[in-house]
Structure 1
Amino acid sequence: MNDKLAEAILAELRFQGRQDDALWDASDIAHYMKLSKSTVQCRIICKPHFPRALKVPTTDNGGGRRWLAREVKQWVMRFREAI
C-alpha cells in the first residue's frame, strides 16, 4: 500500500470516528457532503436555514467558525428524497 493511500484511509477513519457533538469547520462539512470547500463556503453555510455557527475565539481579531456535526447532519437529512 502506498503512503498516499494509507494517509487517505487514516484521514477517513479519523473523520468517521468523530462524534455528533464534535465541532466541524467548513472543510469537515465539505468532506461530509462530498463538495468542495469553496462550494460549502459560498453556497451552503450562507443559507438562512443552515445551522448557526459557533465562533471559537482563537485569535485577537476574531476566531474560527465551527458547527455542531449533529446539527449539520440533521440539516442535510431534511433534503432526503422520498423514494
Structure 2
Amino acid sequence: MTENELIERLVEAIEKRVRPPIPLSVALWDIATVAQYLQRDPNSVRERIACLPSFPKAIRLPTGGRRGSHPLYKATEVIAWVEGFRERN
C-alpha cells in the first residue's frame, strides 16, 4: 500500500467517525459545555451561575424517570446572556 492510499483510507475512516457540528442556532448545552464556554468549573456554574434569575431558563427533556433529565440550555441564549456583561466605554 502506498502512502497516498494509506492517507485516503485514514481520511475515509475519520469521515465515518466524525459527526457534523450542530449549528449554534439550535445547539443545546449541558452544564459541562456551559462551564467550558464560561471558563469556569462545572460545579460553580451549577451552584452559582445557572441559578441566577437572569440566567437563561433550563430545558428539561422528559426521561420517564423520577428526577427528570439534566438541564440543557440554548447556546445562543447563554452567549447573549454573557454578552450582556460586556463593559461599555
* Counterpart code for 1:81: E
Pairwise CA RMSD: 1.7
- TM-score, structure 1 as length reference: 0.73
State the shift of 1:60 in Å. 1.3
- Structure 1 runs, 4 residues or longer, greater than 3 Å off: none
- TM-score, structure 2 as length reference: 0.69
Deviations 1:26-75 (A, max 9, x none): 00000000000011011100000111001112341111210000000000
Q: How many residues align?
A: 68
Identity of aligned residues (%): 37
Deviations 1:1-46 (A, max 9, x none): xxxxxxxxxxxxx9xx542320001000000000000110111000
Distance 1:26 1:41 in 2: 7
Q: Which has the higher strand share?
A: 1
Larger radius of gyration: 2
SS of 2:25's partner is: coil
Q: Work out which of the residue numbers 54, 69, 72 in structure 2 matches 1:66.
A: 72
Q: Where does structure 2 lack aligned partners over 5 or more consecutive residues?
A: 1-17
Q: Where does structure 1 lack aligned partners over 5 or more consecutive residues?
A: 1-13
Alignment-derived partner of residue 80 in structure 1: 86
